[in-house]
Amino acid sequence: MFKAFRIITLLLIFIALAFYSKTQKLKSRNWTAPLEVVIYPMNSEQNEAVENYIQQLNNDVFKEIDTFFANEAEHYKLIIQQPTKTNLGKIIQIFPPPAPAFPFNTLEAILWSIKLRYWAYNNTPDDKSNLHRVRVYVYYHEATEDKQLKHSLGLDKGLLSIVHAFASKDQEAQNNIVIAHELLHTVGALDKYDNNNQPVFPEGYAEPNKDPLFPQLQAEIMAADIPLSQTDSEMAESLDHCIIGKKTATEINWL
């Protein structure tokens, strides 16, 4: 009897989440009002230098994210002039549930997604509807030479994103690329790079019709790298060197 009750309860939870996610999807991708983006910084290493960096963060650090989306919206002749409104949120002391090791299977991803949404509900609630708000949790790491960061994630369901970034002013421009990339995942955009992290032709190229094709001069945001040859690419320096390609624009309901 208890087992049946537990199964029914879980089914009801899944149904409720599915309905809420569908509503979120419709609301967040109609682009009739700015998508509210809140950045929640976290000191991933409990490091004093990282803490000092986090304490001096302000909205200006993330201003170019909104500028990027405004410029791209103008290019695609969107009705709304400012698709996003990015603000700095509170510092998070209790970390989200850890993501499963990448690459992960579907069941692991679903279970982690549910845990993350429950954690977000408990730790970053407010009196606003989350149907039109993207919450980006940024793990800041000390910027040391050759340090490799964990994979960042953006959830297509839940409007939640986990970003790993360097706590350095010199890295802020590229941090914003990662934030914008993961933000676009939350509204339906797919990655445009292959298993070797190379941009996929043609959708991962900013100018797939360029002649000669290489080197490219900009990055498609969902690839984030600028192709220099068929086998070599480099990360864009800032969002000024990124664009939203037609494939991505279609995925996020801009076309």
- Residue 190, pLDDT score: 97
47 lies in the same domain as 140? yes
Judge if 132 and 85 occupy the same domain: yes
pLDDT recorded at residue 90: 95
CB 254 within 8 A of CB 76: yes
Average pLDDT over residues 138-166: 92
- Contact in structure between 159 and 37 (CB atoms under 8 Å): no
Check whether 10 has a pLDDT greater than 90.
Answer: no
Query: What's the domain count of the chain?
Result: 2
pLDDT band at 111 (very low <50, low <70, confident <90, very high): confident
* Number of residues in the chain: 255
User: Has residue 229 been placed in a domain?
Assistant: yes
> In this predicted structure, what is the pLDDT of residue 125?
83
Q: Is residue 19's pLDDT more than 70?
A: no
Residues 56 and 175 occupy one common structural domain: yes
Does residue 15 register a pLDDT over 90? no
CA–CA separation, 164 vs 178, rounded Å?
8
pTM of the model: 0.90
Whether residues 217 and 159 share a domain: the answer is no
Contact 77, 244 (CB under 8 A): no
In this predicted model, what pLDDT tens digit does every residue of 65-98 receive, in sequence order? Answer: 999 999 999 999 999 999 999 999 999 999 999 9
Residue 18 has pLDDT above 70, yes or no: no
User: Could you count the other beta carbons within 10 Å of the beta carbon of residue 174?
Assistant: 18
> Where would I find the H helices in the chain?
2-28, 48-55, 63-75, 106-123, 172-186, 246-251
CA 125/CA 89 separation, integer angstroms: 11
Considering 188, 212, 237, which residue would you say is the last residue of a domain? Answer: 188
